[in-house]
Amino acid sequence: MSINELIILIIIGFLAGIVGGSLGLGGGIIIVPALVFIMGLSQHNAQGTSLAVLLFPIGILAVINYTKNGYVNFRFALVLIIAFVLGSYLGSIISIHLPEKILRKIFGIFMLIISLKMIFYK
């Protein structure tokens, strides 16, 4: 890894952390596109790398701050964790078997639909 790659990855990770900590997202919205378009990774590699980043330690400090302010529903979180683990396993199986071009289009369409919903939600 070159020093330039290291600096770019630090910037991507930092921005994803800010967006993730403030808006509750980051991996898919920041890391995956940055790894594909800036770092030149394949869609599969970017998604796998993003998931590796999102493992337990990444959000702990943000969770502590939200908990201190009473903004964490741990019962909901437990259910979501279990469902997320199972869903991510199934999703990874599906994703691995899709051609990269199709996977990138699905990813882009999903982000577009979600962004339009967020913009025009009443």
Q: What pLDDT is recorded for position 26?
A: 64
Distance separating alpha carbons of residues 83 and 54, to the nearest angstrom: 16
Name the residue with tokens 């962004």. 115
pLDDT (tens digit per residue) in 87-115? 888 888 888 898 999 988 988 888 898 88
pLDDT (tens digit per residue) in 10-69? 888 888 777 776 666 666 788 888 888 999 988 888 887 887 777 666 678 878 888 899
Q: What pLDDT is recorded for position 24?
A: 61
Q: Where are the alpha helices (DSSP H) in the chain?
A: 3-23, 32-37, 43-53, 60-68, 74-96, 100-120
Q: What pLDDT is recorded for position 22?
A: 61
Global pTM exceeds 0.85: no
Report residue 42: phi and psi, to 5°: -70, 160
* C-beta pairs of 26-30 under 8 Å, 24+ apart in sequence: 27/51, 27/53, 27/54, 28/107, 28/111, 29/111
Q: What is the dihedral of CA 21, 61, 10, 33, to 10 degrees?
A: -40
